[in-house]
Structure 1
């Protein structure tokens, strides 16, 4: 792995950034936009993925970074769960649901792999 100088260079952070953009785009829909609680929660969960990766990176400790990666992974699961609610309420299409689901599952796997790499390289 190349030595990253900033969290913005991390592929997992870049993936999370794309998911946040997707979340904000899909929550603009009329029904979703009116459900302030769900809209706010899914947006905060998406942003939480990005910010936990960034905060962990800035801690400059592998142990703490891995802890924050786990928080980011948990937030990815939260986004996925909230997307199910949005789909059940017909706020989003099946196509959008599948897109968010696939991207969050992929990101979750990437975070897990990165976490595993960091833990192994720190031994």
Structure 2
């Protein structure tokens, strides 16, 4: 059986599931936010698993880490947009924020493991 690569990473799976949750959550945001907050949040969320996937196949450790760091930055961006949506009372975002917190911990651990193996 061939390896599926990044799709086998637990951190990628959680990040992908979080994107699906964010898409569901933002369906009910006000229509005037479709090209504002909704678009920004979705783009930031999609960037998390996308950069994990892209970094996974990079051959050099610095390249891998660069993409994983971009994923971390996108994670922080998405968390801010969720906080804003909560404060604007667009939705209850606690579940998605908790998911992002878990992904952040997992991704930090994954990055630390790569650094330890290459030190």
Compute the TM-score of the two structures, normalised by the length of structure 1. 0.88
Deviation of 1:30 after TM superposition, in Å, equals: 4.6
Q: Can you list the C-alpha shifts for 1:57-112, whole angstroms capped at 9, x where unaligned?
A: 1212222111111111111111110001111111102xxx2111111011011100
> Which residue is 1:35 aligned to?
33
RMSD: 1.3
Matched residues in 2 for 1:15 and 1:30: separation?
Answer: 23
Q: Residue by residue, what CA displacement relative to the aligned partner does 1:2-42 show, whole Å, maximum 9, x if unpaired?
A: xx7511111111111011001000010052x4302100000
Identify the residue that residue 45 of structure 1 maps to in structure 2. Answer: 44
Contact 2:29 2:38 in 1 (8 A): no
1: distance between equivalents of 2:32 and 2:110?
37
Aligned equivalents of 2:32, 2:56: Cα separation in 1: 35
Give the 5 Å matches for 1:1-123: 6-31=5-30, 33-36=31-34, 37-93=36-92, 97-123=93-119
Taking structure 2 as the reference length, what is the TM-score of the superposition? 0.91
CA–CA separation in structure 1 for the residues paired with 2:101 and 2:29? 26
CA distance in 2, matches of 1:50, 1:34: 27
Size of the aligned set, in residue pairs, is 116
Q: Which runs of 5+ in 1 are unaligned?
A: none
